[in-house]
Structure 1
Amino acid sequence: MVLTSIARRLSLAVLGLGSMATTAAVAQTTKSAPASKGVGINIANIDPTVKPCEDFFHFASGNWLKNNPIPASESQWGSFHELFNSNQATLRTILEDAARNASKATKGTNAQKVGDFYASAMDSAAIEAAGLKFLQPHLSRIAAIKDLGEMQRFLADPKAHAGSVWYGFGVGQDEKISTQYAVQMNQGGLTLPDRDYYLKDDGRSKTIRTAYDTYLVNTFKLLGDDEATAKANAAAVLRIETRLAKASKSRVDLRDPIANYNKMTVAQANAAFPNLNLPLTLKQNGLGAAKEIIVGQPEFLKEASAMLKEAPIADQKQYLRWHLVSSVTGALPKAFGDDAFRFSQVQSGAKQQQPRWKRMQASTDGALGEAFGQLYVDKAFSPAAKARAKQMIENLRTAYAERIKATDWMSAATKAEALKKLNAFAVKIGYPDKWKDYSKLTISRESYLNNLLAAREWASDYEVGHFGKPINRGEWGMTPPTVNAYYNPPMNEIVFPAGILQPPFYDPKADDAVNYGGIGAVIGHEMTHGFDDQGRQYDAKGNLRDWWTKEDAEKFTTRAAVVGKQFDAFSPLDSVHVNGQLTMGENLADLGGLTIAYAAFMKTPQAKAGKAIDGYTPEQRFFLNWAQVWHSNTRPEALRQRIQVDPHAPDQYRTIGPLQNMPEFYKAFNCQDGNKMMRAQADRAKIW
């Protein structure tokens, strides 16, 4: 099942001296500053041969970029990855201890489940010896399907383990009645990361499709098909997925929450999509009491319904076989994983596969995230870090309120609603106050595949179990070790897992300039998501409701369009441009977040004192840490894919994009008209 409510998140992806006058100004600051040494910014990363007002990304991090090639197992390498890698070392110790001691732990405890899950995942010898033994009952069930009725019964069964097929189905918050849960359906069923990979005829898309076809054929051969049969089955999967892709909305169109909210009665949905047999699906999933369904993309569901009747059952069964097998590759013999990696290389450019312990650590986090997370928090997150983060959030909330009140383009009525929403932001820091209960999930060392499927069943039961109950406002959408953060519009909440509350984002030993340029900008980013082109459509209670005057909405759209045009012009590779519409929400959040974080920082004693550290003023250190947080090297293959599918712009442009609109940055580094980092007055974006 797929939870369909919208949550915007920071990317796990993984950020310059103007004229001669600017260079001299910085040099003068360096010479006259006291020999005060700082913490949190690595001065050695700076490339002084680059002028900050020409290219701040390479000024702030040029030496780091030169000295940190991408590891062979990665498609990208930057601050996020360094922190994630550091976290992984801690998590590995926790998991290995848990696996070693699981036999001593009381059966049914989180310690036993986490230990045995990880141990079974790491036992590659047992997985190899088992071959397809544990998968075969599921393959046999698919093979036994004879007609549409049996296909409907299979798809309706939450224990069928078909993988992500045909469409997304689940229970999530009703975005227009945020106090209720609703059944939700939306487009899905594709393997490639975007519909355009199936539809475009450019060289890159053709290369990926060819590699995908090879991957399909090889997988079917590993399942026992001969060459001719494997090729025929691969062609069947591609036919079905290509037809689904043609019916799918683009990623830009999916960013419109109003267009993607279509509430129907069950009877209406069943009439519109008759071959999906929704009454049976609802009943089998314990949702028989549902009277309505929120449909994200009705035209897609109509096509999926037609396909279930029109596509040969034999083709559909191959589609199911493929999605089942490709969703459990790590639990199958090594040959399956090797083929999967060879295909992923075409998309990511990675030179070698990540070690198994890293892949299985991620699997454990996905299956038992909060049981695992409890062990992580006990070892890696202090109450003091949580308290300081909470204080910074309140400082930014105050600064945001001041900016809203001072906004010259927004009416009093809209300002009042915006302040109401800002004040209503719920804040989650570190880890949940109440952990998920895994008591109904049984885990053993017998079979990693069985553990994986049992965890999926548990997650599905947990999700549909929300239906008809009060909204669980204590629930988290990320696990504690995650190096990320998010804003959830229907909850109107900002969430910061323990994993991101570490250097370079947050360092208790660093000065305020560093922390406000790091985690402060992250906090401001998530707050701004509540007021970006999507988030602004939700009110203080999380309801999808237009609380803007017509005039204010038009002014916002005009101002946001300036950011869209700015990012459309960025080109990281020949003939490849950033999509300003796809990345609009994240670009607005970066600009707003950095602006608000700077305003909050200027209230600190450090900013008022103005004392230089390491030869840089407090203002310069603020912007330097912003840039060093976002520095990264990316393989061309991964960069091309990111441009197509990621709502975040490449990190180079996430760094310089907001700065090019900020007079505060110009002043800090003495930028002059004509410098590349300084946009003409008429081209500058200013919203908050």
Structure 2
Amino acid sequence: MTLALATGLTACKPAPTDTASTPTQAKTAAAPKSGIDLAGLDKAVRPGDDFEAFANGGWRKTFEIPADRSNYGAFTVLLETAERRNAALIAELAAGKPAPGSDARRIADFHTAYLDEAGIEKHGLQALQPQLDAVGAIASPGDLSRVLGASVRADTDPLNATNFHTANLFGVFVAQGLQERAYVATLMQGGLGMPDREYYLSADKEMADARKAYETYVAALLKQAGIADAETKAKSILALETKIAKAHAPVVDSQNVHKANNVWETSAFAERAPGMDWNAFFAAAGLAAQPKIVAWQPGAIAGIAALVGSEPLPVWKDYLAFHALNHAAWNEALRGPGELPKAYIDLAFGFHGTTLAGTPQARARAKRALDATSHSLGDAVGKLYAEKYFPASSKAKVEEMVNNILAAFDERVDSLAWMTPQTKAKAREKAKSMRVSVGYPERWRDYAKLEIRPDDALGNRLRAELHEYRHQLGKLGQPVDSGEWWMTPQTVNAVQLPLQNAMNFPAAILDKPFFDPEADPAANYGSIGAVIGHEISHGFDDTGAEFDAQGRLANWWTPSDTQHFQEATKKLAAQYSAYEPLPGLHVNGKQTSGENIADVSGLTIAYMAYRKSLGDKPAPVIDGLSGDQRFFLAYAQTWRGKIRDAALRQRLLTDGHAPAAQRAQTVRNIDAWYDAWDAKPGEKLYLAPAERIKIW
């Protein structure tokens, strides 16, 4: 009995070249693993009504999100695998008593310090005191600008990670310029303790409740640090941050590279964004020698600078003291508790973890120690991780898949009837020159100048953040490294780098359940293949398509092709904006446009590559599923997940990605999905052929 019959549906059509085996043939043929979690299906759901629920509903009915997580899904399975491996690596290092000054010793000492709860309680605010003293000593606008400049870190990334926000007043991103092959520093908006401007400005009840909880948290954290009149100061801090939020550019504006292409002479900041002592700021930030700096959100930079000049110094001092405490108590990069004594991190988790993300309890310190060590010493841990857990055979197989999917993209572009030969040639040139890096970088970071102590958890983190900032500043004036990696091998993610026309696929994402060298190709192409296709397609989404083969912001489109592309992306945005993951809160199709384009285009070319990988042979039927059925199920199960409402709300407001459940429904735009699952008119996901979005 086929799976379709088991659901009560009419029999699914097999894929055009699939051949169903008789029971006897199935017994004699050694079929590979299907790679599909059959137990996770919900056979009561018709695939054409809700393919994500059909693929994952059985799992979701019985699975409970762990109390220490805001969400859980297929990506979390990979995260937990990486976590277990990191734990084994670090334990092995510690047992070997590594030599002083070695990366192995730094890893062991960082981990030891983080686990030393008694030492953390004893040290209290000791590592933070120099920063708090500097804030307390502010006596003039120049002093304020210097302290603000000294707080800047490399904690924003508008193009690779679509990270447009920092809790510091400003953030810095160092990369190749948008139109020149030289490193430039980009200044970006920041200064908010909550995730986005909407948390300050929206009239929704949930946002109003968040503001009240935030004010309570600010007061409690100040009071815990022994700062007098905490409630009054909390009100002033919230009022200041609300003014900063009003100056902020919305996410959709921040995503627009044309609005961001503002190269200012460093000397012109005083005129274009008056209010700050920019000379003092840039000197403290290590940027005084730069002749020009990119102002990514110019209106926000000018608006924030005006507030620096107009708001009273005492309010700024209270604001900076709170942010120093908040940063130490809550690790924004890891979205978890920091390295202060328990009383502080309990307060921070109560607000950031529970109020904003709905998570009932913090992760165990042992798990947080692994995350913190891996983050602060990323390449040092990553080098060991790649050597031990990413064999050459897996690297070769993934590289083969990447090449196959790139070839499918080339073929797909060549077949586009709407695109002119001129634009096709440019697109194919860009795809063919795209640099693919699988597993780990060719060159590793040098941590020789990073001091790590076995008894200074917070100091270690703060020094690691400063070390990373200095590393980024050190690129200025140097030749551009087109092979630079932006993720560590133990990171469960992948990235397309528009300024380098390159992709990184870290080792940790190239594992089960996304990639299994022993599984049938349908599952691998539907899961990791679609991830690969997604990253390739990012080079041609509504941002990536603005960059040429050399990574320069350049228009390589004819006007007619541009018009067609823009019309198609608008239709896709409208399709996603119709989804309503929470009552009254829809997906923002424009905000998630780039990721949605990459999903539909990536799935299209991954499917093409899968079919080509079969050669002239039919796909086997495994577990009663045709090859095409397994391909699409693998894709939907890649986006398997559960998420708490508070965390989902935060993602809908701030994230450039649609929620996982909606991403799984991308299949409705692929013609082959209809053939594989016999989706019919009248079913909820059904789109008439003319309504299916085809961009690449």
Distance of 2:68 and 2:616 partners within structure 1: 41
Partner in structure 2 of residue 686 of structure 1: 694
- Is structure 2 residue 664 aligned with structure 1 residue 660? no
- Is structure 2 residue 502 aligned with structure 1 residue 499? no
Shift, 1:176, TM fit: 1.3
Is the Cα contact below 8 Å between 2:573 and 2:590 reproduced in 1? yes
Is the Cα contact below 8 Å between 1:218 and 1:230 reproduced in 2? yes
Partner in structure 1 of residue 238 of structure 2: 238
- Is structure 2 residue 36 aligned with structure 1 residue 34? no
Aligned 1:67-106 pairs, distance under 5 A = 67-101=62-96, 104-106=97-99
Is the Cα contact below 8 Å between 2:6 and 2:43 reproduced in 1? no
Partner in structure 2 of residue 390 of structure 1: 399
Distance of 1:264 and 1:138 partners within structure 2: 30
Partner in structure 1 of residue 169 of structure 2: 166
Aligned 1:624-639 pairs, distance under 5 A = 624-639=633-648
Is the Cα contact below 8 Å between 2:515 and 2:524 reproduced in 1? yes
- Is structure 2 residue 225 aligned with structure 1 residue 223? yes
Distance of 2:586 and 2:306 partners within structure 1: 36
Amino acid at match of 1:121: Y
What are the superposed Cα offsets for residues 412-462 of structure 1, whole Å, 9 maximum, x if unpaired? 111111011101111111111110011111111131121112112211111
Amino acid at match of 1:262: N
Aligned 1:441-480 pairs, distance under 5 A = 441-480=450-489
Amino acid at match of 1:336: Y
Shift, 1:22, TM fit: 4.5
Is the Cα contact below 8 Å between 2:154 and 2:468 reproduced in 1? no
What are the superposed Cα offsets for residues 192-236 of structure 1, whole Å, 9 maximum, x if unpaired? 11111100111010111111111101100111024xx10122112
Give the SS at the match of 1:443.
Answer: coil
Distance of 2:612 and 2:32 partners within structure 1: 22
Partner in structure 2 of residue 13 of structure 1: none
Shift, 1:26, TM fit: 7.2
Distance of 2:266 and 2:109 partners within structure 1: 42
- Structure 1 residues 194 and 647: CA distance shift in structure 2, 3 A: same
Is the Cα contact below 8 Å between 2:152 and 2:168 reproduced in 1? no
Partner in structure 2 of residue 617 of structure 1: 626
Distance of 2:433 and 2:83 partners within structure 1: 35
- Is structure 2 residue 137 aligned with structure 1 residue 144? yes
Range that drifts further, 579-588 or 374-383: 374-383
Is the Cα contact below 8 Å between 2:121 and 2:341 reproduced in 1? yes
- Structure 1 residues 639 and 400: CA distance shift in structure 2, 3 A: same
Is the Cα contact below 8 Å between 1:158 and 1:460 reproduced in 2? no
Partner in structure 1 of residue 191 of structure 2: 189
Is the Cα contact below 8 Å between 2:219 and 2:233 reproduced in 1? yes
- Structure 1 residues 546 and 175: CA distance shift in structure 2, 3 A: same
Shift, 1:531, TM fit: 0.6
Distance of 1:100 and 1:355 partners within structure 2: 22
Is the Cα contact below 8 Å between 1:562 and 1:684 reproduced in 2? no
Distance of 2:357 and 2:147 partners within structure 1: 34
Amino acid at match of 1:61: N
What are the superposed Cα offsets for residues 485-537 of structure 1, whole Å, 9 maximum, x if unpaired? 01011011111000100011110000110110011100000010011111100
Distance of 2:303 and 2:46 partners within structure 1: 55
Partner in structure 2 of residue 518 of structure 1: 527
Distance of 2:147 and 2:49 partners within structure 1: 60
- Structure 1 residues 328 and 467: CA distance shift in structure 2, 3 A: same
Is the Cα contact below 8 Å between 1:348 and 1:638 reproduced in 2? yes
Aligned 1:436-585 pairs, distance under 5 A = 436-585=445-594
Range that drifts further, 326-335 or 666-675: 666-675
In the comparison of the two structures, how many residue pairs are matched? Answer: 667
Which residue among 175, 179, 186 is the counterpart of 1:176? 179
Distance of 2:71 and 2:524 partners within structure 1: 24
Shift, 1:21, TM fit: 8.6
- Is structure 2 residue 327 aligned with structure 1 residue 340? no
What are the superposed Cα offsets for residues 603-627 of structure 1, whole Å, 9 maximum, x if unpaired? 1237831320111111111111111
Partner in structure 2 of residue 5 of structure 1: none
The CA RMSD measured in Å over matched residues stands at 2.2
Shift, 1:153, TM fit: 2.5
- Is structure 2 residue 296 aligned with structure 1 residue 296? yes
Give the SS at the match of 1:169.
Answer: strand
Is the Cα contact below 8 Å between 1:287 and 1:467 reproduced in 2? no
What are the superposed Cα offsets for residues 296-326 of structure 1, whole Å, 9 maximum, x if unpaired? 1222111222111211111101111111111
TM-score with structure 1 setting the length: 0.93
Range that drifts further, 275-284 or 598-607: 275-284
- Is structure 2 residue 667 aligned with structure 1 residue 674? no
Shift, 1:67, TM fit: 2.4
Partner in structure 1 of residue 272 of structure 2: 272
Shift, 1:277, TM fit: 2.8
Distance of 1:371 and 1:117 partners within structure 2: 12
Distance of 2:469 and 2:21 partners within structure 1: 58
Sequence identity (%): 37
What are the superposed Cα offsets for residues 245-269 of structure 1, whole Å, 9 maximum, x if unpaired? 0011111111110111101112222
- Structure 1 residues 667 and 172: CA distance shift in structure 2, 3 A: same
Is the Cα contact below 8 Å between 1:630 and 1:655 reproduced in 2? yes
- Structure 1 residues 685 and 25: CA distance shift in structure 2, 3 A: closer
Partner in structure 2 of residue 7 of structure 1: none
Distance of 1:95 and 1:59 partners within structure 2: 40
Which residue among 423, 433, 451 is the counterpart of 2:432? 423
Distance of 1:134 and 1:86 partners within structure 2: 33
Shift, 1:138, TM fit: 2.2
Distance of 1:511 and 1:394 partners within structure 2: 18
Is the Cα contact below 8 Å between 1:138 and 1:161 reproduced in 2? no
Aligned 1:407-418 pairs, distance under 5 A = 407-418=416-427
Shift, 1:44, TM fit: 1.6
Aligned 1:246-261 pairs, distance under 5 A = 246-261=246-261
Amino acid at match of 1:313: L
Amino acid at match of 1:94: L
Give the SS at the match of 2:275.
Answer: helix
Is the Cα contact below 8 Å between 1:602 and 1:608 reproduced in 2? no
Aligned 1:319-330 pairs, distance under 5 A = 319-329=319-329, 330=338
Distance of 1:686 and 1:58 partners within structure 2: 24
Range that drifts further, 137-146 or 275-284: 275-284
Partner in structure 2 of residue 6 of structure 1: none
Partner in structure 2 of residue 282 of structure 1: 282
Which residue among 99, 113, 118 is the counterpart of 2:111? 118
- Structure 1: which 5+ runs fail to align? 1-15
Which residue among 43, 51, 54 is the counterpart of 1:56? 51
Amino acid at match of 1:113: R
Shift, 1:273, TM fit: 2.3
Shift, 1:18, TM fit: 10
Shift, 1:391, TM fit: 0.6
Give the SS at the match of 1:184.
Answer: strand
Distance of 1:160 and 1:648 partners within structure 2: 25
- Structure 1 residues 61 and 144: CA distance shift in structure 2, 3 A: same
Distance of 1:537 and 1:186 partners within structure 2: 21
Partner in structure 2 of residue 8 of structure 1: none
Shift, 1:183, TM fit: 2.1
Partner in structure 1 of residue 38 of structure 2: 43
Aligned 1:634-653 pairs, distance under 5 A = 634-653=643-662
- Structure 1 residues 471 and 161: CA distance shift in structure 2, 3 A: closer
Give the SS at the match of 1:24.
Answer: coil
Which residue among 188, 210, 217 is the counterpart of 1:208? 210
Is the Cα contact below 8 Å between 1:570 and 1:578 reproduced in 2? yes
Shift, 1:380, TM fit: 1.3
